[in-house]
Amino acid sequence: MSEAAVLRAAAVQMTSGDDVERNVATAARLVASAAAAGARLVVLPEKWNVIDRDERQVEVAEPVDGPSLAAAAAWARDLGVALVAGSISELVPGEDRAYNTSALILPDGTLAALYRKLHLFDVDVGGRVYRESASARGGDGMLVATALGHRIGLSVCYDLRFPELYRALALAGAEILCVPSAFTAATGKDHWEPLLRARAIENQAFVIAAGQVGVHATGAASHGRSMIVDPWGVVLAQAPDTETAILADLDFDRLRRVRQGLPALEHRRPDVYGDPVPARSA
């Protein structure tokens, strides 16, 4: 296993609430601890900077050049890491709803890519009603971007249930699939791990899933159990039920061996069932 083919990655797990200052400080501490442990790629969870009631979530939305992503860019630059800044509520000028936006930041602090969550979580589960569309609007594109010499496919939380998205990312060259999340406790206990491992296996890619954990200011509870999964579906790291950062070494020689030995992506039959809409590259 050559050193150049290995990338140490981290998934940060948090219990974000309505205190932006506290959330940002916690993220800063956990990103720094991951970098100190050798991580070169760090992924934050969904809405890491604030989780609040629908009406407040719009009020606290920020533009892309706002303070939260500016702080994240400074961490990336100061620590020399690539950072998937989970997601934030992105302010849309003149609109009454925000985008749920994930940002990929390079080690020099440059904003390399923005992905706006496609699938909005409008469901009734665990005795609770969720209507993400009350405060958010869906994006309209899929995105694969390059950082640290590797292709990274971006997604957010509920996107995990739509395998066609991840297949499009894999066909666009994604080797790493990032899933920042606030997966509910009610669904996560049964669905989180099987879905993450399935996305890794079927696309023969690493999956980094950074989750929220515990009870938020809204009263909603997140499952946690953040994971890093390899292309064979093996769970390389899993978080306990606390705020933390987990790490794993991504071995891209192993990824190539998996894809060569079991070339399922090459055995596809798009002549029968077609190809997904292609993902954009950044």
User: What tokens does 281 get?
Assistant: 């590259």
Report pLDDT for 274: 95
d(CA 234, CA 103): 27
Q: Contact 147/159 with Cβ under 8 angstroms?
A: no
- Catalytic residue list contains 189: no
Task: Please write the tens of the pLDDT for every residue from 58-78.
Answer: 999 999 999 999 999 999 999
What confidence tier does 16 reach under pLDDT thresholds 50, 70, 90? Answer: very high
pLDDT at site 4? 59
* The predicted structure's pLDDT at residue 30: 98
Phi then psi for residue 107, to 5 deg, are -60, -15
Percent of the chain with pLDDT over 90: 94
Burial label, 80 (beta-carbon count in 10 A; 0-12, 13-18, 19+) = exposed
Place of tokens 């296996």: 201
DSSP letters spanning 67-106: HHHHHHHHHHHHHT-EEE---EEE--TT-SSEEEEEEEE-
**Comparing 168 with 58, which gets the higher pLDDT?**
168
Q: Which residue's structure tokens are 């606290």?
A: 60
Q: What would the pLDDT profile of 64-121 be if each residue is shown by its tens digit?
A: 999 999 999 999 999 999 999 999 999 988 888 999 999 999 999 999 999 999 999 9
Please say if 90 is a catalytic residue: no
Say whether pLDDT at 199 is over 80: yes
Can you give the pLDDT at residue 1? Answer: 42
Tell me which of 47, 62, 90, 117 is the catalytic residue.
117
Given the residues 46, 132, 175, 243, the one annotated as active site: 46
Residue 128 belongs to what H/E stretch? strand 128-131
Query: According to the model, what pLDDT value does residue 206 have?
Result: 99
Instruction: Specify which residues 124 forms β-bridges with.
Output: 129
54 — pLDDT class (breaks 50, 70, 90):
confident
What per-residue confidence (pLDDT) applies to 93?
87
**pLDDT average, residue stretch 243-262:** 98
Which of 3.40.710.10, 3.60.110.10, 1.10.1240.10, 3.40.50.800 is the CATH number of 3-263?
Answer: 3.60.110.10
- Taking 50 as the threshold, does the pLDDT of residue 234 lie above it? yes
Distance CA 89, CA 94 (A): 15
In this predicted structure, the answer to whether residue 53 has a pLDDT above a threshold of 90 is no
Domain spans, the chain: 3-263
Rounded-to-integer distance, Cα 9 and Cα 35, Å: 9
* Confidence at 2, pLDDT banded by 50, 70, 90: very low
Q: What is the 3-state secondary structure (H, E, C) of 234-255?
A: CEEEECCCCCEEEEEEEEHHHH
Mean pLDDT (whole number) for 232-244? 98
pLDDT at residue 184, rounded to an integer: 98
Measured distance CA(166)–CA(179) in Å, rounded: 10
Average pLDDT over residues 210-218: 96
Catalytic position from the list 132, 157, 175, 178: 157
Q: Contact at 8 Å (CB) between 32 and 79?
A: yes
Distance CA(144)–CA(251), nearest Å, equals 20
Token pair belonging to 83 = 């950072």
- 4 by DSSP, 3-state: which? helix
Cα(105)–Cα(110) distance, integer angstroms = 6
43 sits in which H/E element = strand 41-43
pTM score, whole prediction:
0.97
Is 117 one of the annotated active-site residues of the chain?
Answer: yes
What does the alpha-carbon distance between residue 274 and residue 111 come to, in Å, rounded to a whole number?
Answer: 34
Percentage with pLDDT > 70 across the chain: 99
For 5-10, what is the mean pLDDT?
A: 97
Which residues, other chains included, contact 256 with Cβ-Cβ below 8 Å and sequence gap of 6+?
Answer: none
Mean pLDDT of 252-278: 96
